[in-house]
Amino acid sequence: MITTETSPSQYSVMSWFVRLFLLLCCTKCSLSWVYERTRGQVWPLPRFVSYQKTLNYINPVKFTFKVTNNTCPILDEAVKRYTDVIKKMLPRNHHQWQGCPDFSSLQEVLVTLTEPCEDWPNLHMDEHYEVHVNRPDYDNLTIVSSSSVWGLLRGLESFSQLVTPATDAAGCLVLNSTDILDYPRFKHRGLLLDTSRHYLPVPVILNILAAMEMNKMNVFHWHIVDDESFPYQSITYPSLSDKGAYDSKHLIYTQDNVKNIIEYARLRGIRVIPEFDSPGHTRAWGGGANKLLTACFTNGSFNGEFGPVDPSRSQNFKFVRTLLEEVKSVFPDKYIHVGGDEVQFGFQCWMSNPTVTQFMKDNNITSPENLEGYYMNQVLDMVYNINASAIVWEEVFKHGDPLHNDTVIQIWSSNRTEMLKEVTKEGMYALLSQGWYLDHISDQWQDFYKIDPTDFDGTEKQYQLVLGGEACMWGEMVDETNIVPRIWPRASAVAERLWSQKAVDKTAPAPRLNEHVCRMRRRGVAAQPANGPGFCP
Amino acid sequence: MITTETSPSQYSVMSWFVRLFLLLCCTKCSLSWVYERTRGQVWPLPRFVSYQKTLNYINPVKFTFKVTNNTCPILDEAVKRYTDVIKKMLPRNHHQWQGCPDFSSLQEVLVTLTEPCEDWPNLHMDEHYEVHVNRPDYDNLTIVSSSSVWGLLRGLESFSQLVTPATDAAGCLVLNSTDILDYPRFKHRGLLLDTSRHYLPVPVILNILAAMEMNKMNVFHWHIVDDESFPYQSITYPSLSDKGAYDSKHLIYTQDNVKNIIEYARLRGIRVIPEFDSPGHTRAWGGGANKLLTACFTNGSFNGEFGPVDPSRSQNFKFVRTLLEEVKSVFPDKYIHVGGDEVQFGFQCWMSNPTVTQFMKDNNITSPENLEGYYMNQVLDMVYNINASAIVWEEVFKHGDPLHNDTVIQIWSSNRTEMLKEVTKEGMYALLSQGWYLDHISDQWQDFYKIDPTDFDGTEKQYQLVLGGEACMWGEMVDETNIVPRIWPRASAVAERLWSQKAVDKTAPAPRLNEHVCRMRRRGVAAQPANGPGFCP
């Protein structure tokens, strides 16, 4: 029987009266009646999951994963990581343990990869996997299997989420016999981090990547530079961070930092897509790149301010091309995000500058929107010339010439239903972020959860052009003091929406999210309360 | 010259053009133009402060405070604490220091207490102090002085805030010659923490107390128990936390925990006022106190739910009295908060219970509001009988019989202007919290800063009945993962409003608050960004 409806050993199945009884009569009651939390359920919800009643006990001291077929460093590291997760799954009072007795029934989990590993996560990676715990028709084996190393990563995560400390056998862990057959609904399940408005220390980024793995998110969209600071230490143009970082020695990302972040992500099946947003949002580039930005004029003379990249200077396109070539060599993903948003805030500056307006006349460019389109099309040509693909913000779709049809349009500000329809109608790929802005602090996880990337009127072909979406953590008001609890668990709602079946919101997710919050907490991610009063065991 | 207007060595005095020049031309510029931050200015703003241009350099290795007159353990500990603050005031690159050269001009600060110490902070404690740095008419001495140990604590805090790492002399600290004459505008400057909706670990509470000292707040209002959990481990009634805590072993406050918290607060001149809220907000008391809560009825029979404390049973008053006697013996402050809010949510239950309604008839109590008043007046009598004073929520003023005129009314839900007027018109003391709810996450510090406890139409005598106010951090959505950045720096706005002169909001506080955020951060308090993009040095 394959179903998503069964709920093993969960607080929420207790009736109000049972809970009242516990409250009034039991000698060791915890006030679970104010707070429902599942035990051993998976987030995001698998496509097909069936829990049986049989309980399987694990002695964490003796527990092992056994790789039975292909392997590679990604899988070896994952097995180490999840062995550690299982062995450290201790409740608060673990020092009182007597050790798990020998009746424990589950000591070994087979980890079976049927095809060779890929080296780099990518848009088209296969994330299917199966988990069978104590499968009767299979010699009562417990197995996590996939034809893809990426699928195995997801499967190991799900397996680890089935396991909880046993309440009836101190020192043991426990999980129900379970069958899972799982794969994501969308290929691109991303989180945007903005390291320009506030610098984020590398360990904070790694902690967020670890949490992304727990939520089966697979794209770290690194909005690495912007108006406020340029922390990326470029090989070709070191002056950009020398002049543009908040602190050119300490608040930068060195090439080593970037390599470490990419490798940490790769081992977790997470793509790192860097964004170098232009021609707007480039104020911090100006100190380190001579004449890159447009000088703004008032009454015929330079007024001391600078606008977007100056598209009248061919040297500026050469500069951007060289930078993109470096980016392509540093970041292995096929995709580069080249921004293109909110250029309209710089239109007045462009139109005030006599060289720019002369350039427009000379090239029959009749409006600043068209100048923006001209600029972005040049940049997109560069991207495709270096064998990369591009993601852009929605304005580029609105203002550009017809775009290379491999280009992905990220929707962030318009009516999302209309924009999804229009973009896919033109045969373009779409990513949804509108409605998933984590900096909107009044939005609860329920608000994010309501939004679905296929909630528009389109054809099946159009729906298939929707690659997924991204939760966006813009950095104006967050830094290392508050970013982790602001992201988690609200981004978990986006993660589940992008992984699980569309009707997942009908499954009463709140008690499962409460468990997931406590799980993230136990694994070192400071996820904040999801649903009001409560506690983690 | 005494003034609050001078601004020494501060980023904000740089003109836009100077900053633009730095951005474009300097070789080591940081992008301070997006972000203004003072250097060496005090938060909350002193009543009178005058900065001179003379800079005084400190070699942190040789620096000492010298106590010249009275002393006591509170002062000794404070001197150790602030010596540590000064000596550890290192910028990020301190490992590159050569050490501060011997030209440093300020090695010793005199700490002068002219009267004996008090042992316990209290409502009427004196917090006046003076700071003079390199005072010409006083042998160029630097001195922090007060007639009260509480004033000295505030003065040492202010002195420490004047000091910053020198940018022109690596390894040295620096401060302007300065004169401060300072005292608070309100006596009661509080922060409410709610440890019932989520348990807060003791180290988190201590960290918040440390931050309160940095903000010269002097009352920790400990909303220790509520409907959701009862973490206070009572000596007399241990069953209350045994049955009512989220986890009766690990998520409780033992008597030792409470003692440590009170002592940590005492050393910082912070009163600890516990709140045991009744007759509503007591659901978690029910498991450990037999028949304390009213059984609710539907159609003539018990419906399984419980309401407020049952006021028809004289044993319940005895129970509350015994608990309050314990509270008085454990918490040294004169004041106990006895709650009394939102009882109306339990009116229906009271009126459904035949014993309660019979009791009302027998005692000529004609409405649930009057029953609430009857209950609270009994509780207030208990408080005054044990030589304590009471704080209550505003409903008690609205529904009670005439109250003992020592009672303090905490205003939280009504139109604050009207309520402040009414309460003080009756000659009662008032505390303001309405508008200062930190759980309203969309409220910025600027929203809190706008509110003043004297913004009502009253006589001078009425204004004097306003003791101050409290920022309230209700616990539904916060726990150790996010509470510190959610409190700070937003509560700093309330702290300044309650300490400084009324017109403090005319002083362009934002750059000073940015410095204060970085100062709290440096001292181990995870204060979140106050004003958008930026960084701490």
Average pLDDT of the residues in A197-216:
98
A18 to chain B, any CB pair closer than 8 A? The answer is no
Predicted confidence at residue A471, as pLDDT, reads 98
Predicted confidence at residue A92, as pLDDT, reads 59
The beta-carbon neighbor of A250 closest among B92, B248, B249 is B92
Give the whole-angstrom CA distance, residue B433 versus residue A281: 41
B250 to chain A, any CB pair closer than 8 A? The answer is yes
ω into residue B533 within 30 of 0, thus cis? no
DSSP type of residue B201: -
> What ipTM was assigned to the predicted interfaces of this complex?
0.91
Report whether pLDDT(A11) > 80.
no
CB-CB neighbors (< 8 A) of B247 in chain A: 30, 92, 535, 537
Of A528, A419, A445, A433, the residue nearest A472 (C-alpha): A433
Nearest CA in chain A to B26: A243
Of A9, A5, A105, A108, the residue nearest A48 (C-alpha): A5
Predicted confidence at residue A97, as pLDDT, reads 61
Instruction: Give, for A474, the enclosing helix (H) or strand (E).
Output: none
A442 to chain B, any CB pair closer than 8 A? The answer is yes
- B156 vs A2, higher pLDDT: B156
Residue B57 has φ and ψ, to the nearest 5°, of -100, 140
Of A523, A524, A438, the residue nearest A193 (C-alpha): A438
Q: Which residues contact B178 (CB under 8 A, 6 or more apart)?
A: B49, B50, B51, B52, B131, B132, B133, B162
Length of chain A in residues, anyone? 537
Residue A5: band (very low, low, confident or very high) from pLDDT cuts 50, 70, 90: very low
Predicted confidence at residue B14, as pLDDT, reads 33
The beta-carbon neighbor of A246 closest among B16, B17, B535 is B535
Predicted confidence at residue B170, as pLDDT, reads 79
In this structure, what token pair is assigned to residue B122?
A: 């209290």
Q: Which residues contact B91 (CB under 8 A, 6 or more apart)?
A: B165, B537
Give the whole-angstrom CA distance, residue A300 versus residue A243: 29
Give the whole-angstrom CA distance, residue A104 versus residue A57: 5
Predicted confidence at residue B102, as pLDDT, reads 67
The beta-carbon neighbor of A28 closest among B31, B93, B248 is B248
Give the whole-angstrom CA distance, residue A320 versus residue A322: 5
B225 to chain A, any CB pair closer than 8 A? The answer is no
Predicted confidence at residue B61, as pLDDT, reads 85
Q: Give 10-residue mean pLDDT values along chain B (537 residues).
A: 36 36 36 72 97 92 93 97 91 65 81 97 98 87 97 98 89 94 98 98 98 98 97 98 96 98 98 98 96 96 96 98 98 98 93 97 96 95 97 91 89 94 96 98 96 97 98 98 98 98 93 97 97 94
CB-CB neighbors (< 8 A) of B528 in chain A: 477-479, 481-482
Q: Which neighbouring-strand residues pair with A431?
A: A410, A468
Burial of A420 (0-12, 13-18, 19+ CB in 10 A): buried
DSSP type of residue A310: -
Task: Report pLDDT digits (tens) over A459-475.
Answer: 999 999 999 999 999 99
Q: Which residues contact B375 (CB under 8 A, 6 or more apart)?
A: B278, B279, B309, B311, B343
Percent of chain A past pLDDT 70, that is, above it, reads: 91
Distances B440 to A136, B448, B487 between C-alpha atoms, Å: 53, 11, 11
A228 to chain B, any CB pair closer than 8 A? The answer is yes
The reply to whether residue A197 touches residue B533, judged by beta carbons under 8 angstroms, is yes
Q: Which neighbouring-strand residues pair with B293?
A: B309
Predicted confidence at residue B139, as pLDDT, reads 81
Predicted confidence at residue A89, as pLDDT, reads 87
B95 to chain A, any CB pair closer than 8 A? The answer is no
Of A378, A443, A436, the residue nearest A404 (C-alpha): A378
Instruction: Give, for A340, the enclosing helix (H) or strand (E).
Output: none
CB-CB neighbors (< 8 A) of A198 in chain B: 529, 533-535
B246 to chain A, any CB pair closer than 8 A? The answer is yes
Distance from CA of B231 to the nearest CA of A (A): 11
Q: Most A CBs within 10 Å: which of B32, B207, B247, as the mutation test of the A interface? A: B247
Give the 3-state secondary structure of residue B365. coil
Average pLDDT of the residues in A87-99:
69
Q: Judge whether A515 counts as a catalytic residue.
A: no
Q: In B149-276, which ranges are E strands?
A: 164-165, 173-182, 188-194, 219-223, 271-275
pTM, two decimal places: 0.93
Q: Which of A342, A369, A426, A480 is catalytic?
A: A342
Residue A95: band (very low, low, confident or very high) from pLDDT cuts 50, 70, 90: low
Residues 486-505 of B with CB under 8 A from A: 486
Predicted confidence at residue A23, as pLDDT, reads 39
